[in-house]
Chain A
């Protein structure tokens, strides 16, 4: 990672390019702009961006298709811009490998926060160890132990599996489908009620205030995210 992270902004709307590119540049990012899916794929190869901000409504290719092709070749974080207000597109993009999404209309801080989180996850991933810390929560993957503050929390095997899945992908939205498939197997993807119950149990055990979770954050209609740092709105 260079001192100045490179961001590839993919959006066909000139007004979005003209407003968002200066915003990112003013925060110290190097910004490349692509207006079509084809252009985005070429530039993702050539300029090796550290993060891609991808609009789903592109003139030539479906944005989800662009996400899929980029993900096939690279682990670069992808933050999706969705104007359609349609949850299906978002979920689709996340399932195909996007890391996070921002729904238009968004404010500058919202986008910047998502970008920071996605970039931080890359840094954290590169320093992966046998344990994980966020706030007063510690997960020891090797010994399958979870400690909140000073107290060790007893988790069922499923609860531990869910928590470690979310923690390993911290700050990234995992769709309901992806979680169900990883924890219960491919046959369970149509049974989200398993997930709701388990998340509820887990929150009671690890959250300081289960009604207002700070770690296991719901993304309405989309999935869950393990939040490590600043709350994202």
Chain B
């Protein structure tokens, strides 16, 4: 770009040059041939025309002509042109300056265009790279609009996607504008019907300009193949139509890509939920069938076989144990449904941690039959929380510990009231947690690698524990204990009474 200021200095320099040429030839280097002088003037005009603007060149050539005429063409000292030949010299000056400056102007414009193109190509390239790293499909389009505004220095950018009965807009930039949905619809309808490449305008059909207040916003259709899927609106720095079209192409691909990512995620979720259903059915099938079989056979034994009193008691015990197992399963399913429905009521009150542990222990007495529970509560200060939920969650953790540690081993339960609430730890002497199990430990139907072969156990317990605790703002996590086995920690936020006396006074 040549500024007005540099144009003036160019002109001054040019005029100085021809003045110098005149001075040289009149004072220090007198030449007889007017041809030599005119060639020198022509050279200056050519140089000026090649490096500066047309008008500078024209002014220079006129000035050269005047000086040439005045100082070197007879009659000297006048501006009259006696010889018609001299008209030709004058015409030559003008022609040379016009052609040369025209050529240089075209070349300069080409260069400027090339530089501009290179700049926009670089922006497009950066943008497409940005597009590839966008992975969160929910935010993708807003991020994309922001990226375009930043990369192309635009004041306003919007990606408009047609939805059932309205336009969904993702806009960015320093300005905010209201795009008229009717105009968008109109532009979109036009993009639908025309999609030929217009060779003369070097752009695809469907580009439009829309007036919002005093600003004109450019609308470009977003196409996948030839099918328009939306519109791109841009306002601010002027952008080449070709670039705009390429930009719209990148945006369209980005939209397709995010939609693809979204679909893939949905498909993955569907598949997971199918897997969950299948494993639920399989494990529920087993967990229902085994107790039912045992109950049927044991009841049949009591009814028909001639059993000793002892054997009869044994058979009733089988029935009771299995009935409890069915009850637990039923409760688990019910609890899971409640958690899913977000219908877990909480009811906080003052309670001693030791009571919670005793309650939990009582709930899973049968499962814990073959294990020894070692309880350590210090200090046993009253805490204010929902004892039912906490105990139910703890029961699931105890049940889990019993299932995953050898019969006859000890399960340690430790509880402590901390400043932020109650913390309960359950430590077992089982094989510990496999690192592959850790990420999904509290997921529904997650079952330890070692337990996969066994058919009992639904993989619901820990996920229910987490769900119950979440309802009262609590957390549960697991780690491997330094002494082997696994350690589960339940943390429930709660108010803690500093002393026993205070607890009683407030009750």
The interface residues of chain B lying within 8 Å CB-to-CB of A23 are 297, 300-301, 305
* CB pairs A–B below 8 angstroms (30 shown): A13-B294, A13-B456, A15-B318, A16-B294, A16-B297, A18-B298, A18-B314, A18-B315, A18-B318, A19-B295, A19-B297, A19-B315, A22-B307, A22-B311, A22-B315, A23-B301, A26-B307, A57-B454, A58-B453, A83-B290, A83-B455, A84-B455, A86-B282, A104-B293, A105-B289, A106-B296, A107-B296, A108-B304, A109-B300, A111-B297
Interface residue? B102 (CB, 8 A): no
Interface residue? B438 (CB, 8 A): no
Alpha-carbon separation in the docked complex, A12 to B454 (Å): 9
Interface residue? A157 (CB, 8 A): no
Interface residue? B471 (CB, 8 A): no
Interface string of A73-114 (1 = CB under 8 A from B): 000000000011110000000000000000011111101000
Q: Are B294 and A18 in contact (CB under 8 A)?
A: yes
Q: Known contacts A18-B315, A60-B453; can you find 15 more A-B pairs with CB under 8 A?
A: A12-B454, A13-B294, A16-B293, A19-B293, A19-B294, A19-B298, A22-B301, A23-B305, A26-B305, A26-B306, A83-B285, A106-B296, A106-B297, A108-B297, A108-B301
The interface residues of chain A lying within 8 Å CB-to-CB of B290 are 13, 15-16, 83, 104-105
Seen from chain B, the residues whose Cβ lies within 8 Å of a Cβ on chain A are 282, 285-286, 288-298, 300-301, 304-307, 311, 314-315, 317-318, 321-322, 325, 453-456
Alpha-carbon separation in the docked complex, A19 to B300 (Å): 9
Alpha-carbon separation in the docked complex, A60 to B451 (Å): 10
Interface string of A1-22 (1 = CB under 8 A from B): 0000000000011011011101
Alpha-carbon separation in the docked complex, A22 to B294 (Å): 12
Interface residue? A59 (CB, 8 A): yes
Seen from chain A, the residues whose Cβ lies within 8 Å of a Cβ on chain B are 12-13, 15-16, 18-20, 22-23, 26, 57-60, 83-86, 104-109, 111
Q: Which residue of A lies closest to B454 (CB)?
A: A59
Q: Which residue of B lies closest to A27 (CB)?
A: B305
Alpha-carbon separation in the docked complex, A107 to B317 (Å): 18
CB within 8 Å for A57 and B318 given contacts A20-B297, A23-B300: no
The interface residues of chain B lying within 8 Å CB-to-CB of A12 are 454
The interface residues of chain A lying within 8 Å CB-to-CB of B295 are 19
Q: Which residue of B lies closest to A102 (CB)?
A: B293
Q: Are B314 and A22 in contact (CB under 8 A)?
A: yes
The interface residues of chain A lying within 8 Å CB-to-CB of B314 are 18, 22
Q: Shortest CB–CB separation between residue B309 and chain A, in angstroms?
A: 13
Q: Are A84 and B282 in contact (CB under 8 A)?
A: yes
Our count of residue pairs bridging A and B at CB distance below 8 angstroms stands at: 88
Alpha-carbon separation in the docked complex, A83 to B293 (Å): 10
Q: Shortest CB–CB separation between residue A100 and chain B, in angstroms?
A: 16
Q: Are B455 and A108 in contact (CB under 8 A)?
A: no
Q: Shortest CB–CB separation between residue B255 and chain A, in angstroms?
A: 45
The interface residues of chain A lying within 8 Å CB-to-CB of B291 are 15
Alpha-carbon separation in the docked complex, A104 to B288 (Å): 9
Q: Shortest CB–CB separation between residue B281 and chain A, in angstroms?
A: 8
CB within 8 Å for A84 and B286 given contacts A19-B315, A26-B306: yes
The interface residues of chain A lying within 8 Å CB-to-CB of B318 are 15, 18-19
Q: Are A57 and B296 in contact (CB under 8 A)?
A: no
The 9 residue pairs across chains A and B that have the minimum distance between CB atoms: A57-B455, A105-B292, A26-B305, A15-B294, A108-B300, A104-B289, A19-B297, A19-B298, A105-B293
CB within 8 Å for A57 and B322 given contacts A16-B293, A19-B297, A19-B298: no
Alpha-carbon separation in the docked complex, A188 to B321 (Å): 49
Q: Are B289 and A22 in contact (CB under 8 A)?
A: no
The interface residues of chain A lying within 8 Å CB-to-CB of B300 are 23, 107-109
The interface residues of chain B lying within 8 Å CB-to-CB of A83 are 285-286, 289-290, 293, 455
Q: Are B282 and A22 in contact (CB under 8 A)?
A: no
Alpha-carbon separation in the docked complex, A18 to B294 (Å): 8
Q: Shortest CB–CB separation between residue B408 and chain A, in angstroms?
A: 14
Residue among B282, B290, B307, B456 with the most chain A CB within 10 A? B290
Q: Are A26 and B301 in contact (CB under 8 A)?
A: yes
Q: Shortest CB–CB separation between residue B324 and chain A, in angstroms?
A: 11
The interface residues of chain B lying within 8 Å CB-to-CB of A16 are 290, 293-294, 297
Alpha-carbon separation in the docked complex, A68 to B301 (Å): 32
Alpha-carbon separation in the docked complex, A22 to B291 (Å): 16
Q: Shortest CB–CB separation between residue A60 and chain B, in angstroms?
A: 7
The interface residues of chain B lying within 8 Å CB-to-CB of A13 are 290, 294, 456
The interface residues of chain B lying within 8 Å CB-to-CB of A105 are 288-290, 292-293, 296
Alpha-carbon separation in the docked complex, A9 to B232 (Å): 74
Q: Are A108 and B289 in contact (CB under 8 A)?
A: no
Q: Are B294 and A108 in contact (CB under 8 A)?
A: no
The interface residues of chain B lying within 8 Å CB-to-CB of A86 are 282
The interface residues of chain A lying within 8 Å CB-to-CB of B298 are 18-19
